[in-house]
Amino acid sequence: MIFFLTNTVLDIGLGASFWILKQTSYGLYSAYRYLTNNSETRYITNNSESNDTLVILYKEQQDKIEELNNNIDRLTKLVEHKLE
């Protein structure tokens, strides 16, 4: 009986100790990584060249969407005309 109690206490104690050690080491590692991370990777830099490229791509996509909508309208009218 004492064997089982001792085994249970040791199992729970060592399991809890291992969990605490693991969580603490992960916390210290995360804190170290956060503190040593340079400011360029933490903050998004404002890059006007990238912004200009995105604006151009956005306008091109809007033009293409408008063109596709016009094509859909023409095809719809054509199909409706043929069905009549």
- How far, in whole angstroms, is CA 28 from its chain's centroid? 24
Q: What percent of the chain has pLDDT over 90?
A: 58
Higher pLDDT, 40 or 8: 8
Sign of CA dihedral 64, 69, 72, 77: negative
pLDDT score recorded for residue 25 = 96
Here the tokens at position 1 are 């009986």
Q: How far apart are the first and last CA of the chain?
A: 93
The per-residue pLDDT for range 32-48, each reduced to its tens digit, is: 888 887 655 555 566 77
Between CA 36 and CA 16, with CA 22 as vertex, the angle to 5 degrees is 150
pLDDT score recorded for residue 24 = 97
pLDDT score recorded for residue 52 = 84
Query: Does pLDDT of 74 surpass 60?
Result: yes
